[in-house]
Each structure stands twice: as C-alpha cells, then as structure tokens.
Amino acid sequence: MSSGLVRIREPSGAEGLPPVLFNFDDNLLKALANLATEELSETGVNLLMAPYQRRRAVNAAGLLERRSRGIRDAATIDRNNMKILRAVLLQDNRNFLKVWSKTSKSTIMYENGKIYFENYQNCYSCVHSEPQLLYKLPKRSKLEKFEDALLCLSPLDKTLASPSDHKPSLLVLTADNWLYRLSAETGEELQRVYLSSNHKFRYLSWDVSQEMFYVKSVQNKETSLERQAGITQNTVMHLAIFHVFPLRVVGILEINKKVFGNGVTDVILSQGVLVVSYSNKSVKLYSFEHITQRYLTEKLTLGQQCSLLGGKTVGDVPFGIPVNIQITDCPPVLFEVSCSDKSIQIGGYPWHYIYTPPTKRHRGCHHICSLKDSTMATNGIQNMNCCSLESDEIFFHPDDSGRIIHVGPNIINVLKILGELDSGSASQIVKDFSMETRQNNTSTPQFTVTSSGRTVKRRFNQLDDDPDQETFRMLEYEDELDLLAAVVTNGEEGEGRAHIQLHDNQSGQLLRTVELDEPWDETYRHELFFNKDTIVHIEQKNTNFCCHVYKLNAVRK
C-alpha cells in the first residue's frame, strides 16, 4: 500500500495505511524480550517462522537479535513483528488494563495512535505506556476555529521534494476558509492555502485510492425571498480538489442544477468517481478523470500566478483558488441505481454492489448484484429479519479480501462471493463463517395476569438488541494483527457492561475476551478503536465526553 490517508471525524478501518515499523512502546518491547527468553513449549504458543533467505526457522529471540544488529528487511520484519505481537496478545498471562482516562466538554477524536481534544487543539500520543501530550495549540477565535481535519501519512515508497512532506501531518480547514497543513507531531504550521472569499467551505474528505482529498462547501439553498421573486439558485455547492505528497491543487468545480439536474442533495468523490445523490433516492456515478480531461480550463499551481485570477497568485488572500473545472454539459453516467438512504457500496471480486431498494417492504433487505450487468447474485438478498432499535449493517470487508460483513444484533455473518470474472452465470453468495452472541432463551410470555386477575396482552415482544441480553454493538478490524474485535454488551445485572471479543479474521474463531471496566450506557454515543497493543473507548456522558485507554500488560499474580 502506497500511502496513509486517514479519516478523522468518522471511525474507519486502516484502509490505505502504510505499515508502521517498530512502533512499540517500552513496555511492549520488554514483554517481547521476556517472551523471547521463555521456553516456547511452556507458553503453548507457536512462534516459529521462516526468516530472511533461510530455510531454518528461528524463534522470537532470533528475530529481535537480528533486528538489533541492523539486519532488516522492512516488510519482512514488520510482518514478523506483528506475528510476535499477536502471539503475545493472545497469551493467557497478558491482558488489556485501563491506564488512562480523560474527560472533555467537547467531542473527542482518535486516529492512528493520536487523541484530539478541544476541537483538535490538544493532541495526545498513545505510543507510550500512558498517553502523553504531544502539543497544545493556542486558542483560536470563533472566526478561525477548526471546522474539520484529516490525518495524512506520507508514502514509504516515494522520495518527496521537501523533508516535511515525509512526516505525518494534519490537514485542517478553518471557519474563515483557510486550509492548513500542520505537523502531526508538534502542531507546527507547515503550509497554508486560502481557498476562496466567494464560497463557504465546511467539510474535508479523502479519495484514498487516488491520493487526493477534497474540500466541500455548504449547500446553497434558495431563500423564501428568492422563491417569491422567482429567482432560481442553480449552484448547489463547490468542491476544491487537492493531491497530496506533495500538496498541490487540482482545482475547484461547481455542482450545478443545469448540468446535473434538479434534486441534487449531496456529492462525494471516491475511487476516482464523482458520486451524486438525488432527492428521489437515486445515485449517479461520473468519471472524475473524464471531467478533468474535458472541462479543465487551466492548470493551477499554488503560489504561482494564473490568468483566471487576472495574474494574481493562486492560494493568496483574497483571491484564493478560482473555478477552473467548468462543466458545461452533463458528463456520461457510468452507473445509476435507486436505493434507500442514497447509499450504495461497490467492492468484491468480481465487482459487485450492495444496496437496499427504496421501498418500505424492502427495509432491512440488502441486495448484492453484479456491477457488470446488475444481475442479482444467487442468495444475493441478505435479510436478518431482526426486530431491533438499531438497524443491521452490511459492508465490504476492509481487508481487501472481497468478502462481505453483515452485522446484526446477535449474529455477524462473513460472506464470500463465488464467481468468475468472464463467466456467464450468476455469482453466488455463501457464508464463510458466523459469530454469535449468547442469547437469553427465556421467552417473554405474550400474556400476563395482574394482581386482580385480569389478563393483559403484551403490546411488544422483546427486541433483538434489548439491553438485558448480549448484543453486538460494533465491529473493528485490526489489519496488522488480522483480528476482528466485536464489542458485546450485556445488562442482565441491571448495569450495562461491555466486553470485546477478539476473533481470527480468517476463521472467525474466538481467541480471547477483553472486559471493559467502565459501564456502557446504550442511550449515549460510543466509539471504540483497536490498534495493536492499544484499545481506546470514547463515550458520551450527558453533555460531557470521556476517553478511556487500555494497554496490553502482563497480568501480575
């Protein structure tokens, strides 16, 4: 994988992340060293693996000794490090212990070993045995506050012009339309670009595969006065698109009703495709490469003059970046589908897409179809028929295996697509494995008798995600350890508790369970992140937020 493009605001997997080399804290290194000196027969864990250019297997001590002497092949050592860490993590004498908690009155964000407080102003690193403050930025005015942020990790296989381009950076959008590139380690300003004085930009998002990100403006909505005067607002929003490594501008394009039609509700850029959603629940896909090739009027370079600005400098106040992608007619539609929640997912091998038809009778019913000809796959309708407050989720597995994960309140199904690329027959959806909770089998009676002897019929049955029984709440994938972490809650004893089940990603086998110390209140929002030897739980408590950090430690007897 060439680069690390990481979404901050919304939890995501490790898609696009480069391997992290030797990023272990002191306690973990000590644990590895202790493990290396133990008798492998006593541990019950097989740590034998084939090292570099040799057929004779060596143990963990040999791998660590070779690394200390500087004999290192980056990919091989990183892979072996993860094998060792996984073996340590799954030992009976190791456990995750809470080492740190911190509350805040504002939302807390976590990404790639860093915790952000006070709207990205304060940053803590989780690399050490306890989180440590990396930097604290000066307070900013309301006009200059951070609206959104992205964490950017440079590729390992490229030589970049500036040394600062190789270091992790935080891309930040401010309320006054400035785009900053800050050092992710110190908060130092590395670069700044002024976007525009004509459009209000608010959101940042990645197009990971293209090593691009885009800045989206707020939507233009017709006011009541404009409607009364018969004035039509054709411009829906603007997108400013940038390449990274190094930072350079592609341009700004306008999403216009005259081009894309009425009813546009949202636009995103993903996998080199412009995805446009409409109020009639349809989604249309357009090639962004085709758009730039046909409608780009002038190439722009940050810090240099351009004719669209009358000779002014691109990225300077007050001119910013001009609209240099001017779409005059509707581009060819690559793909179109009507779906519930305007949500469509594309992935798998051969290529398939997942959607829910936009009708009430298909609610909770997910269709899996071939992208080539929209043919429904055999067993392609997946419906858990669950009765729950939270709807089930279905998505393509982030491990790039082409599998599909379907998460319900009491079961998680991992599905495979069986089919050939050039085959004329429909592909088939089969179950790879399942993970299930322990459900309370005591059924609630339909009728109850009051003290006066009156028979009363219950209006509702028990929900599948009832707090009183074990329920899957979320699922995380740790790509470097190849583990699935499922959060399970249970409130049988009156207080909501939660634990994390670690499953093998290839077989679904339950390998170990990690208990969380703090109660789990389902009425509030929760996020959980699993990154090698660290577990981070962010919860909301009324109007406050709290972050809990667990670290892998040896259990003291």
Q: What integer pLDDT is reported at residue 19 of this predicted model?
A: 33
| Beta-carbon count within 10 A of 487 CB | 22
- Cα–Cα distance for residue pair 502/509, rounded to 1 Å: 8
pLDDT the model gives residue 491: 76
Q: Which of 47-56, 104-113, 327-336, 483-492 has the lowest mean pLDDT?
A: 47-56
Give the pLDDT of residue 33.
Answer: 45
Whether residue 205 has pLDDT greater than 80: yes
CB 376 within 8 A of CB 360: no
The residue among 202, 198, 178, 182 whose CA lies nearest residue 190 is 182
Tokens encoding 148:
């959104």
Count of Cβ atoms closer than 10 Å to residue 58 Cβ: 18
Furthest C-alpha separation in the chain: 89
Instruction: Taking residues 63-92, report their average pLDDT.
Output: 76
pLDDT, position 522: 86
Instruction: Decide: 16 and 476 in contact? Cβ < 8 Å.
Output: no
Reduce the DSSP state of residue 92 to 3 states and report it.
coil
d(CA 59, CA 13): 31
pLDDT at 448 over 60: no
At 338-387, the pLDDT tens digits run: 998 778 999 998 999 999 999 887 788 999 999 989 999 999 999 988 77
Highest mean pLDDT among 17-26, 33-42, 102-111: 102-111
* Residue 120, both tokens: 């990205």
pLDDT digit string (tens) for 242-277?
Answer: 999 889 999 999 999 999 999 999 999 998 999 999
pLDDT score of 97: 95
